[in-house]
Structure 1
Amino acid sequence: MPQADLLLTDTRIRTLNPHQPEATALAVKDGRIAALGDTATLTRDWSGPGTERLSLAGATVTPGFVDSHSHPVWGLQMSAGADLTGVQDLDALRAALRSAPRIDGWVIGWGLDHNAFGGRPVHHGLIEDVLDGAPAFLRLYDGHSALASTAALAAAQVTGPREFAQRAEIVCDAEGRPTGHLIEHAAMDVVDAVVPRLSYEKRRAGLVDLLKGMAATGLTGAHVMDGADLELLAAVEQDTDLPLRLTVAPWCMPGVDQDGLDELIALQKRGGRDWRVGAVKFFMDGTVEGGTAWLEQADCHGRGTDAFWPDPQAYSDAVRTLHAAGVRTATHAIGDAAVRHALDTIEALGASGRDAHRIEHIETVPDDTLPRFAALGVAASMQPPHTAYTKGDHSDEWSQRLGAERAGRAWRTRDLRDAGAVLALGSDWPIAHFDARRVLAMARVPEGAAGAGQGLSGLEALEGVTSHAAIASGEAHLGGRIEVGLRADLTVLGLDPVLAPADELAQAPVRLTTVGGRIVHRGE
């Protein structure tokens, strides 16, 4: 007689399998769902002396939550220093910097909202007097821009503008003097190269703690949208199991040659017990607030008409090369022109391009792009918490940049689902908090900053972090549903995430989180 390793009973199980949508018990054996049915039958047939049986009365079991866009490894350095996510205005920023701890003499901060500047240009002159001469490097919340103080610019020997292979900029005034505003990764990296780094030991311990914190919100996996540090992941797995299952998508940047593409293809073979390289990440544009989102018409500052790749066809050629090698791609595309070009590129691949590629963010798009996602089999990957940086009255920096018409078609999650698209949801941590419950709750808000009527149903939101997330990563044959033979990646909440009100869901007790049947979080 079989004996389960783990037996969950007396509960409500939402399988997301239309052929068996609900059950009251499930058995786990060797990391997989071994049986699914009623409590009495499974208790009789699958209990044994080595079985851990958990009665979960009042709880709801769902497929394991997956964050479809996160940066848990790269984000460790991105989130170093003072947490500025709660800063709302310039006075609060100055107060935070005045009391911020020095790290090797530096003031380092992250998560700063563009709206805190109150419409003023981002300039080091706004903060210099509270730094007492210390170099400062402050990452803005979008992860694509930063503010560096005079001393930080001097430490990096930045004295004027520079040319970059991608759409990046060291912003300078009319006299050619740097303002401290650094736009896009290439410009930020010039100063970031001299910023104090986290030690290897802190990064290693920080990664495990971070992933444990993610598991405590119900997450069982994440799609890592950066090159990560594969050696760090491998080293951690030598000592312990990762608390989350990670699928990594290394970056492909403008200027890549055939050797670079061959390296990305070869990386797809890398992996460990609970991590693997499973795609390649592209940037078709930057951000609205930075003026680098690629738009079909310029933003209200006269910017945004250029792609991140100076030659957009080179991006298309790189996608084609990777596709021919069987590599999945994910493209950061925020503006309407960026989304359209990514869709055009995938359409040109023909029938073989279906269900193999995805587009990230999709912050503002016109009506005619919506049905193309389903028609081409392109997954839409979106982050509901990003809407927290906009306001319903469109007085925020994002909306002001775009103007009323484009701001009125923001984050069209409802419209994409109605058009038949696969819609995967995530947080983009550290751009927004990783708490999966918040992602679900914010996806369901029916009205507000994301536009009227864009809220999802409870079931659609749940699908966004489970079954649709699995489709987006090419892992629908492995998980995203609770079915016999699939991975036992499970999330157990103290309420039903489909029926509970969004505000209650955001605070839901997480009773249990399992990865491959291994309990990675156990709640009250």
Structure 2
Amino acid sequence: MKTPQLKLMSALISSLLAINCHAKEPAVSADTIYSGGNIITMNDAQPSVQAIAIKDGKIIAVGDTSTINNTFKSQQTKLIDLEGKSLLPGFIDAHSHYFNSLQVANQAQVYAPPSGTGKDVDSILATIKQYADEHKIPKGELIIAYGYDDTVMPNGRLLNRDDIDKVFPDNPVRIDHVSMHGTVMNSLALKKYGYSDQTETPAGGVIVRKEGTNEPFGLIMETAYLPVLAQAEVMSPEEEIKATKAGQKLYAQNGITTAHEGATHLNQFETIKRASDANANIIDIIVYPFITDVDAILAKYPVDKWLQYNNRLKVGGVKVTVDGSPQGRTARFTTPYLAGGPAGEKNWMGELTFPQDTINKMVKKVYDLNVPLNLHANGDGAIDAFFEAHQSVAKDDLTKDRDITMIHAQFARKDQLSKFKQYKIRPSFYTLHTYYFADAHLKNRGKKQTDYISPMRDAIDIGLRPTNHTDFVVAPLDQMMMLSSAVNRLSRSNQVIGETQQVTPLEGLKAMTIWAAEQYNEEMNKGSLEVGKLADMVILDNNPLTIEPTKIKDIKIVETIKEGNTIYKTK
């Protein structure tokens, strides 16, 4: 039994301990502190730090471990030891087709090796047959595959309607071209989507006909493909939620915390909007309505609601497409393709998607809306066509910053880069073509032009801050492969494609973080690890700045964090 003196002393000690503990409690307690690895900030003023503190989804401190722990660690703070791994800002997708991620979860994947098994006609059809059997797809139901790459087909033996009919006589089958600018269909699919020998080829479109007849032989490209896009399969609300979660998981698995929907049609926008309203998004989604659907989308979602997030969804501007795909030989050039056109045309330079006068009107419409413009242009002829539109529409102030991003800009000539800078156009390059499609470009365009595709080095050197993208599902959603392609520019055959355009790993990372944030006018909140910014982060199993450059592609995503919460983690 304690005496009064002991009771008094015990109370005094408890009081002193309480005061002491209270003194150690920080004024601001971090939810999480990361340390023990390579923290790469993308902030030139403070390129790397030892630790980073997070609270309520935002970064509250970066610096040395002891200072941050002493200042922000409480009993409730979770301490994360990176164990030598690398922590970077979450990757920002500069251009892909997010909506397709909702669809491909229920499609057969037929990418060419090493990304898939589609090395020839037989292997493509075998893969789709296996998929149909595994999913027990009944007769009469549509089967869709994606990733068909005709540029790697041996001996020029391409897919056609008859090939697919032999394996799938009872199902409509659509095998979408890797460029996303077309598809190959069997007879039942052609009938389903309304193509026949009576269908005229629209301007800017391609319908390959069976030799000696006017019958469509399967391949449909560019504007002739638009009716297929307009007949997207309708999902139930439950299917929309399920597809949204599956699609965003693909992005999270690749370290992406902000995704891009690069050409949004009305039905796609409505699907994305419904899922967003149901709070299904785990990452930020930025959509760009396609120019032909802008009025319909504006009628449902006025422009004063654009350029701001609502349930992680933002309308970022408008998309205009000027030409097609260089590997599909539908991109517009100022000189002929060496291999002719997709249907055997001679002296073929590709075509503009729309007539020049129409392009001018489309560009004016976007400028009048005063919203950002994303402009698809691959060939140097298409880039010239946009310059002509810009000079016509904006002749009173050519150098005003109008938030223009030229998507792909792959075959920009060196003399065109100066106009990018003069007209304040940000190029979003596509360096993955140095790997996936280099052989096709060498055949179609020759070595000189191929070596200069996606001239990122020259763009940076003249003061531009380009971004880089996958164009998923055209290329796999692989951020480390994308970074490697910018740094190494190695082809499938392990040849360097344009050594003079290689960039450093740090520059390559900026093109997918801070410069991509600038593309969306979000650099105040994203793109680097700085105080006040969102805690959008990715953890890698190795350091892309110090690893041997050709091994960058082998780096694995360990964890993806969106506003302080883990949305993907390896098991």
Q: Same fold (TM over 0.5)?
A: yes
Instruction: Tell me, in whole angstroms, the C-alpha distance in 1 between the residues paired with 2:480 and 2:467.
Output: 15
Q: Residue 161 of structure 1 contacts residue 170 of structure 1 at CA under 8 Å; is this kept in 2?
A: no
CA contact (8 A) 2:181 2:324 kept: yes
Which residue matches 1:515?
562
Q: 1:441 to 1:49 in 2, by over 3 A?
A: same
CA contact 1:100–1:107 (8 Å) conserved in 2: no
Aligned to 2:97: 71
TM-score, normalisation: structure 1: 0.89
Residue 429 (structure 1) shift? 1.2
Question: Residue in 1 aligned with 2:119?
Answer: 88
Residue in structure 2 matching 1:438, options 453, 462, 481: 481
Identity of aligned residues (%): 23
Which residue of 375, 396, 407 corresponds with 2:450?
407
Q: Does 1:244 align with 2:294?
A: no
> Tell me, what secondary structure is at the counterpart of 2:238?
helix
2:535 to 488, 502, 510: 488
- Give the whole-Å Cα distance in 2 for the aligned partners of 1:408 and 1:441: 16
2:78 maps to 1:42: no
Inter-CA distance 122–365: structure 2 relative to 1 (3 Å threshold): farther
User: 1:274-297: CA deviations, max 9, x gaps?
Assistant: 221111111011112433211112
Q: In the aligned structure 1, how far is the partner of 2:243 from the partner of 2:406?
A: 29
Tell me the alpha carbon deviations over residues 461-485 of structure 1, each in whole angstroms, 9 at most, x when there is no partner: 1101101111112222222122212
Residues 273-331 of structure 1, C-alpha deviation per residue, up to 9 Å, x if partnerless?
32211111110111124332111123232333431112x23323332332343300110
Match of 2:19 in 1: none
What is the CA deviation profile of residues 72-93 of structure 1, one whole-angstrom value per residue up to 9, with x for unaligned ones? 2234336642211131122323
Please show how residues 11-30 of structure 1 align to structure 2 within 5 Å: 11-30=37-56
Given the superposition, is the C-alpha separation of residues 152 and 485 from structure 1 closer, same or farther in structure 2, using an over 3 Å criterion? same
User: Which amino acid letter does the alignment assign opposite residue 150 of structure 1?
Assistant: S
1:279 aligns to what?
317
CA distance in 2, matches of 1:194, 1:162: 17
Alpha-carbon distance in structure 2 between the residues aligned to 1:388 and 1:251: 29
Distance (whole Å) between structure 2 residues aligned to residue 112 and residue 259 of structure 1: 32
Larger deviation, residues 163-172 vs 355-364: 163-172
Matching of residue 130 in structure 1 with residue 167 in structure 2: yes
Call closer, same or farther: CA 1:129–1:326 in 2, change over 3 Å.
same
Bigger Cα displacement from structure 2, 21-30 vs 402-411: 402-411
Q: CA deviation at 1:497?
A: 1.8
Shift of 1:511: 3.6
C-alpha separation between the residues in 1 aligned to 2:372 and 2:201? 27
Residue in 1 aligned with 2:352?
307
- 5+ long unaligned stretches in structure 1: none
Give me the whole-angstrom Cα distance separating, in 2, the residues matched to 1:306 and 1:43.
61
Corresponding residue of 2:181: 144
Following the alignment from structure 1 to structure 2, what is the Cα–Cα distance between the partners of residues 100 and 60? 37
Q: Are 1:323 and 1:353, in contact at CA under 8 Å, matched by a contact in 2?
A: no
> Deviation per CA, 1:329-356, whole angstroms, max 9, x where unpaired?
1101011011223245446633663261
Tell me how many residue pairs correspond in the alignment: 516
Q: For 1:180, which of 193, 218, 236 is the aligned residue? A: 218
How big is each residue's C-alpha offset from its partner over 1:102-155, in whole Å with a ceiling of 9 and x where there is no partner? 644344211111125442465323443222353221101111111111222233
- Alpha-carbon distance, 1:8 to partner: 1.5
- 1:67–1:223 contact (8 Å) kept in structure 2: yes
Given the alignment, which residue of 431, 444, 449 partners 1:384?
431
CA contact (8 A) 1:441 1:505 kept: yes
Q: For 2:77 and 2:311, how far apart are their aligned partners in 1?
A: 23
- Change over 3 Å in CA distance of 1:336–1:276 after alignment to 2: same
- Contact 2:38 2:85 survives alignment (8 Å): yes
1:471 to 514, 518, 541: 518
Q: Cα gap change, 1:140/1:17 in structure 2, threshold over 3 Å: closer, same or farther?
A: same
Using the TM superposition, give the Cα deviation of residue 269 of structure 1 relative to its aligned residue in structure 2, in angstroms.
5.7
Aligned partners of 1:345 and 1:155: how far apart in 2? Answer: 37
Alignment of 1:187-266 (within 5 A): 187-191=224-228, 200-227=237-264, 229-237=268-276, 240=279, 242-253=281-292, 265=303
Offset at 1:238? 5.2
C-alpha deviation, 1:510, in angstroms:
3.0
Distance 2:63 2:284 in 1: 26
Q: Taking structure 1 as reference, are residues 498 and 194 closer, same or farther at Cα in structure 2, changes over 3 Å only?
A: same
Of 443, 458, 463, which aligns to 1:420? 463
Give the letter aligned to residue 303 of structure 1: W
- 1:321 aligned counterpart, secondary structure: helix
Under a length normalisation based on structure 2, what TM-score does the superposition of the two structures give?
0.82
Q: Name the CA shift for 1:238/1:374 in 2 (closer, same or farther; >3 Å).
A: same
- Within 1, Cα distance between the matches of 2:280 and 2:188? 42
Matches of 1:509 and 1:199, distance apart in 2: 35
SS in 2 for 1:13: strand
Structure 2 partner of 1:6: 32
Q: Cα distance, 1:221 vs. partner?
A: 1.3
Contact 2:110 2:145 in 1 (8 A): yes
Are the aligned partners of 1:61 and 1:490 in contact in 2 as well (CA < 8 Å)?
yes
Q: Secondary structure at the match of 1:399?
A: helix
Query: 2 CA distance for matches of 1:18 and 1:46?
Result: 24
Q: Which moved more, 1:234-243 or 1:481-490?
A: 234-243
Tell me the distance in 1 between the aligned counterparts of 2:320 and 2:271.
23
Secondary structure of 1:170's aligned partner: strand
Give secondary structure in 2 for the equivalent of 1:506: helix
What SS class does the counterpart of residue 432 from structure 2 fall into? helix
**117-126 vs 359-368, greater mean Cα deviation:** 117-126
CA distance in 2, matches of 1:345, 1:191: 28
Q: Which runs of 5+ in 2 are unaligned?
A: 1-26, 112-116, 341-346
Deviating more after overlay: 116-125 vs 323-332 = 116-125
Distance 1:18 1:407 in 2: 33
RMSD of the TM alignment (CA)?
A: 2.9
Match of 1:204, as an amino acid?
I
Q: Over residues 422-463 of structure 1, what are the superposed CA-to-partner deviations in whole Å (9 max), with x where a residue is unaligned? A: 211121111111122221122211453643333221101110
Distance 1:124 1:361, change over 3 A: same
State the distance in 1 between where 2:55 and 2:425 align: 34
